[in-house]
């Protein structure tokens, strides 16, 4: 079996490496020359648990190669980004570019699988584009079940930090343009997926992916809204959630400084954009979660202003615990706003950063380690629940003014924080 994976990012590279481990000949195609060089030398350009060993193994065995140029293959997997433009309009240009590239080498019998998170209808657009570029091939769904190629949508659902485990163990939803397409894609996933592989239509699979991330966003928004109410009421939101979750049918998620990453803060907009009049809940959840970041910024500012000589430590920049990914990170947004306002009184503690990210570079803030923060900072703002922060015992922080946006230090005496009006921003 020969496989081409287009896009060697957080999903494409681990996927390519796992397929290569099954013995298939895999070519990873990426537009970025440096990524191709890194992979071909057996190294990785992204941090993910165990990925480096896997990639170096399959590259040295010769089952994984990378290139900027496409080659013919039996299966093509598209794993390129789908960002959004102004007004949260999804941008599927990279998906269509990938399909155009595939068209140049496509032959009868091939399977094309789209994994990128996409608006409903995108897989059909890929099919229509291939039909127009390759009129010599019969595409599925246009000519009854008589087709020369198979096209399917199969969303990735892996969690950063657990990608290699979840690629194998998670159930997969496989949406074919036709049932025959779904069956062909299913045979492919069965090579490396241990979870169940469930087949459906391409449109249902596309909507399923968006639904999963919108579900999580709405549920986090509920927790974030509770945190605002609890602050106003003088109640510990973490305790309320812990107690409420003792109910057999209640399972509330955790509040935080907002929702980050490149999936949950993005994908719900694909649904809102497609059906603006039917999505008040999903849109409001997005606004509540973004509004929580602004609320935390106001809380930190009030706290720092109240102690004019204090040095403040922002603990964490990543978008969630124990990873080095700062994309769309609410922690980074809070740190940047605080650093812009208070400059050289601000220290950043981020064990996953070697240097300060560019947005913090000219603010006067400096990067320090945890021990130095404990010694020198009297205000601590917990923005990320990294294990290393959780492990700081009460005796090392008892005398600090703490704003713990992640609830990692339940034993911290509740300081009287300066009041900030907890109104949503819409
Ligand atoms: N967060 C909270 N409270 C919580 C849970 C998360 O504030 O209780 C925050 C995190 O701190 C982070 C953001 O939400 O800022 C997103 O983190 P996450 O762990 O919920 O999700 P991601 O973005 O790492 O991965 C999600 C996953 N989707 C779901 O759980 C439904 C993953 O399975 C998807 O594959 C991934 O999006 C994706 O690529 O779409």
* CATH at residue 269: 3.40.50.720
Q: How far apart are CA 54 and CA 123, in angstroms?
A: 30
Together in a domain, 310 and 253: yes
* Per-residue confidence band for 324, with pLDDT thresholds at 50, 70 and 90: confident
Q: How far apart are CA 13 and CA 56, in angstroms?
A: 12
Please say whether the beta carbons of 11 and 115 come within 8 A.
yes
Provide the residue range defining the domain that includes 178: 2-200
Measured from the Cα of 215, ligand 1's closest atom is 31
Ligand 1 touching residue 210 (CB < 6 A): no
Per-residue pLDDT, 426 = 44
Most informative mutation of 90, 159, 257 for ligand 1 (most atoms within 8 A of CB)? 159
User: What is the count of structural domains for the chain?
Assistant: 2
Per-residue pLDDT, 317 = 98
Q: How far apart are CA 329 and CA 354, in angstroms?
A: 17
Distance 138 CA to ligand 1 centre (A): 39
DSSP-derived 3-state class of residue 379: strand
Q: Is residue 128 part of a domain?
A: yes
Q: Is residue 205 part of a domain?
A: no
Tokens representing 288?
């509540």
Chain-centre distance of CA 92, in angstroms?
Answer: 17
Per-residue pLDDT, 145 = 60
Per-residue pLDDT, 124 = 98
Question: How do residues 373-415 score in pLDDT, each as one tens digit?
Answer: 999 999 999 999 999 999 999 999 999 999 999 999 999 987 6
Distance 160 CA to ligand 1 centre (A): 9
Measured from the Cα of 406, ligand 1's closest atom is 7
Please say whether the beta carbons of 67 and 58 come within 8 A.
no
Beta strands in 230-345 (DSSP E): 312-315
Together in a domain, 43 and 191: yes
Together in a domain, 266 and 359: yes
Q: How far apart are CA 235 and CA 360, in angstroms?
A: 34
Together in a domain, 185 and 86: yes
Helix 202-233 / helix 237-244 crossing angle, nearest 10 deg: 130
The count of other CB atoms within 10 Å of the CB of residue 33 is 9
Ligand 1 touching residue 319 (CB < 6 A): yes
Residues, the chain:
426
The answer to whether residue 181 is catalytic is no
Please say whether the beta carbons of 327 and 319 come within 8 A.
yes
Together in a domain, 223 and 365: yes
Q: Is residue 416 part of a domain?
A: no
Measured from the Cα of 258, ligand 1's closest atom is 7
Q: Is residue 424 part of a domain?
A: no
| pTM exceeds cut of 0.90 | yes
Q: Does the structure show a pLDDT above 70 at 180?
A: yes
Angle, CA 198 vertex, CA 193 and CA 204 arms, to 5°:
125
The answer to whether residue 209 is catalytic is yes
- Mean pLDDT calculated for residue range 231-236: 93
Together in a domain, 152 and 92: yes
Measured from the Cα of 385, ligand 1's closest atom is 11
Together in a domain, 175 and 85: yes
Q: Is residue 412 part of a domain?
A: no
Together in a domain, 152 and 292: no
Tokens representing 278?
């039917």
Together in a domain, 46 and 88: yes
Q: Is residue 411 part of a domain?
A: no
- Mean pLDDT calculated for residue range 140-163: 90
Q: Is residue 418 part of a domain?
A: no
Q: Is residue 330 part of a domain?
A: yes
Ligand 1 touching residue 347 (CB < 6 A): no
Q: How far apart are CA 28 and CA 367, in angstroms?
A: 36
Per-residue pLDDT, 31 = 96
The count of other CB atoms within 10 Å of the CB of residue 244 is 12
Tokens representing 392?
């700081």
Together in a domain, 50 and 89: yes
- Mean pLDDT calculated for residue range 22-37: 98
Q: Which of 154, 197, 209, 292 is catalytic?
A: 209
Together in a domain, 127 and 246: no
Q: Which of 47, 8, 9 is nearest to 353 (CA)?
A: 47
Does the complex come out with an ipTM higher than 0.85? yes
Together in a domain, 178 and 300: no
């Amino acid at each position: 079996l020969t496989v081409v994976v287009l896009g060697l990012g957080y999903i494409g590279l681990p996927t390519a490496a796992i397929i290569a481990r099954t013995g298939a000949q895999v070519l990873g195609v990426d537009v970025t020359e440096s990524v191709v060089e890194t992979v071909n030398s057996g190294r990785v350009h992204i941090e993910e648990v165990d990925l480096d060993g896997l990639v170096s193994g399959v590259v040295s065995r010769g089952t994984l190669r990378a290139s900027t140029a496409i080659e013919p293959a039996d299966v093509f997997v598209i794993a390129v980004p789908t960002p959004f433009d102004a007004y949260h309009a999804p941008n599927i240009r990279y998906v269509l570019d990938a399909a155009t590239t595939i068209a140049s080498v496509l032959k009868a019998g091939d399977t094309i699988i789209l994994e990128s998170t996409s608006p409903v209808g995108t897989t059909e657009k890929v099919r229509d584009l291939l039909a127009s570029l390759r009129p010599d091939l019969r595409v599925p769904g246009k000519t009854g079940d008589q087709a020369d190629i198979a096209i399917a949508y199969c969303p990735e659902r892996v969690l950063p930090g657990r990608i290699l485990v979840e690629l194998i163990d998670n159930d997969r939803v496989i949406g074919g343009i036709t049932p025959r397409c779904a069956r062909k894609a299913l045979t492919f996933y069965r090579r490396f997926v241990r979870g169940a592989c469930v087949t459906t239509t391409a449109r249902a699979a596309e909507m399923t992916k968006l639904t999963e991330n919108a579900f999580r966003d709405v549920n986090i928004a509920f927790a974030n809204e509770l945190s605002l109410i609890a602050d106003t009421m003088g109640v510990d939101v973490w305790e309320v959630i812990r107690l409420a979750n003792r109910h057999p049918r209640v399972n509330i998620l955790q509040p935080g400084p907002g929702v980050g990453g490149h999936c949950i803060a993005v994908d719900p907009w694909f649904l809102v954009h497609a059906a603006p009049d039917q999505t008040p809940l999903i849109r409001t959840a997005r606004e509540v979660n973004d509004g929580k970041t602004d609320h935390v910024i106001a809380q930190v500012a009030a706290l720092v202003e109240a102690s004019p000589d204090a040095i403040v430590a922002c603990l964490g920049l990543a978008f969630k615990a124990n990873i080095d990914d700062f994309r769309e990170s609410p922690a980074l947004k809070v740190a940047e706003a605080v650093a812009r306002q208070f400059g050289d009184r601000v220290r950043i503690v981020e064990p996953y950063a070697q240097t300060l990210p560019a947005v913090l570079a000219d603010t006067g803030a400096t990067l320090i380690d945890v021990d130095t923060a404990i010694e020198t900072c009297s205000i601590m703002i917990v923005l990320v629940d990294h294990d290393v922060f959780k492990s700081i015992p009460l005796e090392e922080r008892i005398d600090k003014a703490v704003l713990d946006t992640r609830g990692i230090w339940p034993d911290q005496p509740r300081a009287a924080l300066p009041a900030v009006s907890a109104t949503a921003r819409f």
